[in-house]
Amino acid sequence: MDIIVDVLNKVNVFVWGPVMLVLLVGTGLYLNIGLRFYSFRNWIRAYQCLWKGRDHQSEHGEISPWNALMTAIAADIGTGNIVGVATAIAIGGPGALFWMWMTALVGMMTKFSEVLLSMHFREKTPGGNWVGGAMYFIKNGLGKRWTWLAVLFAIFGTCACLGTGAMVQANAVADNLVNTFGLNKWLVMIVLVGLCTLVLLGGVKRVGAVAGKLVPFMAGFYIVMCLIVIVMHIDRVPDVFLWVVKDAFTPTAAQGGFAGASIIVAIRMGMARGIFSNEAGLGTAPMAHATSTAESPLVQASIGMLDVFIDTIIICSMTGFVILVSVVPQNLPEGISAGVAAGDALWSSGLNGGILTSTAFGTALPGVGGYGVSIALALFAFTTALGWCVYGERCVIFLFGDRAQVPFRVLYCVAVAIGSLVSLNLVWLIADTCNALMAVPNLTGILLLSPILFRIVKEEVARDPRFVY
């Protein structure tokens, strides 16, 4: 077993290493150039389309554009927004947050492209399911000789969904509620499985309906918590912002429990945690967006790119600023005044992950901050589990047809039960590796279909005066 774990660890380090990060970000840069930085010039128009498109707009699809986006955001906004951001800062320094922003701004175009291709090449199955994603735009766009690549994506996706989506998220919910509120783990498991069963057995329409109501609430709850802390330290915000930008281009000196970080470490941690959080390029969210009733692929793709902005630029930034404004260190980079008398910074205390975030909230909001973070983590993990079930069943429909849909939902609920009760180190390692491996066929398909993608966007923008090219 130790040998297997050691091999998997090495594979995981490689697939989430520099080669993958360069491929993900490089693809995003290429798409931005090829599409004339479409996302920067149209994101306000995309918000307008989202708001006006809350209702069904065509007979094609299963759920509204709003619910499709909320389903994707439900899967995106998870523990990475709380734990991942804290880990990036604790290892890479404050500058890691800047590189998360840069990765998100580039990744918006990747998300736009994979959603548009998924909408354009989607299918309606004999069972009435509207299905899309990397496996379908590879099969239908590149032809039968590339079917093997589509199958690989579906296999990796199924494994990642059962691991990352069901077991790991259920484990996060159970651990948080048990450790924070002292609840019985078996009781948590029964309630969690019951809620998942009620939602998931209703299919993508019920998941979309629940996500459409729950995601705005949970995101709003967390943002309000963060804003309270930030407003309490509003005088520090300008200094912290300048600090993040400057630290992104200078090595971070060791201090407190922080071992120090080079610029490369800050870049790598910011990029890796940013991509892990918003999933741009991994090929997951397009499977939810492909169920949309949007009037055109361009409209849904434009709406789809917003989940990267919401997930990383808004939610992740909130977490980062809460951590950094809680205690501003005395030894800020030269030319930046802390404006406060403070001891060692909280971020450099040696704490990591969720503990660091919880401590930051607990320091700023004694008595309630830690509980608030635990509730947010539980909600984030629960909605992530719901969203990833949609991805998993789309993968098994591609592999085995409509008949596999209901059995997969049952299997998924069983995986939630197991994840609530047992330690998942090996499961997490396998799922995380498959998660990264999904990006390879997805990005390959996008790059090979990019000439078609560029043509589709140009033609659709010419027909839709709401957008500019």
Distance CA 245, CA 98 (A): 6
Give 187 or 352, the one with higher predicted confidence: 187
Q: What confidence score (pLDDT) does residue 448 get?
A: 94
Residue 128 structure tokens: 């009435």
Residues 288 and 266: their CA atoms lie apart, in Å, by 32
Structure tokens at 448: 């090979």
Average confidence score pLDDT of the chain: 82
State the helix-helix crossing angle for 317-326 and 203-232, rounded to 10 degrees.
30
SS3 199: helix
- Return the minimum-mean-pLDDT range out of 1-10, 43-52, 57-66, 455-464: 1-10
Closest by alpha carbon to 369, among 328, 322, 313? Answer: 322
pLDDT (tens digit per residue) in 433-465? 777 788 889 999 999 999 999 999 999 988 888
The pLDDT value recorded for residue 55 is: 52
The structure tokens listed for 340 are 């406060």
Give the Cβ contact number of residue 10 at 10 Å. 10
Q: Which of 276, 241, 265, 254 is nearest to 168 (CA)?
A: 276
Q: What is the pLDDT of residues 328-356, one digit of tens each?
A: 444 444 544 443 333 345 555 555 556 77
Which residues make Cβ contacts (< 8 Å) with residue 63, sequence separation at least 6? 71, 204, 205, 208, 209, 291, 292, 293
The terminus-to-terminus CA distance of the chain in angstroms comes to 54
Query: How far from chain centre, in Å, is Cα 46?
Result: 19
Which pLDDT score is estimated for 332?
Answer: 46
- The percent of residues above 70 in pLDDT, for the chain, comes to 88
Query: Which pLDDT does position 90 carry in this prediction?
Result: 77
Helix extents (H) in 296-404: 297-304, 306-308, 317-326, 353-364, 369-400
CATH topology of domain 2-326+344-463: Amino acid/polyamine transporter I (1.20.1740)
The pLDDT assigned to 149 comes to: 93
Return the pLDDT at 82. 78
Q: How many CB atoms lie within 10 A of CB 263?
A: 17
- State the angle between helix axes of 147-160 and 425-437 in degrees (0 to 180), rounded to the nearest 10: 150
State yes or no: pLDDT of 154 exceeds 90.
yes
Instruction: Between 340 and 267, name the one with better pLDDT.
Output: 267
Provide CB contacts within 8 A for 311, sequence distance 6+: 73, 76, 77, 81, 104, 277, 278
SS3 414: helix
Instruction: Give the type of residue at 1.
Output: M
Cα distance between residue 74 and residue 382, in whole Å: 9
Half-sphere exposure of 451 (CA within 13 A, CB side): 2
Tokens standing for residue 112: 């736009």
Overall average pLDDT of the 124-152 stretch: 90
277-293 as b/e, with b when 16 or more CB fall inside 10 Å?
Answer: bbbbbbbbbbbbbbbbb
Contact criterion met (CB below 8 Å) for 276 and 193: no
The alpha carbon of residue 155 and the mean position of all alpha carbons in its chain are separated, in whole angstroms, by 20
Q: Return the residue matching tokens 């330690």.
A: 423
Those residues whose C-beta lies under 8 Å from the C-beta of residue 180, and which sit 6 or more positions away, are: 370, 371, 374
Residue 61 in contact with residue 294, Cβ under 8 Å? yes
Reported confidence tier of residue 275, pLDDT bands at 50, 70, 90: confident
Query: Which whole-number Å values give the CA distances from 268 to 91, 327, 352, in the listed order?
Result: 10, 25, 17
For residue range 56-92, list pLDDT tens digits in order. 466 787 888 888 888 888 888 877 777 778 777 877 7
Residue 247, pLDDT score: 81
Distance CA(31)–CA(130), nearest Å, equals 26
Rg (CA), the chain: 21
Who wins on pLDDT, 454 or 5?
A: 454
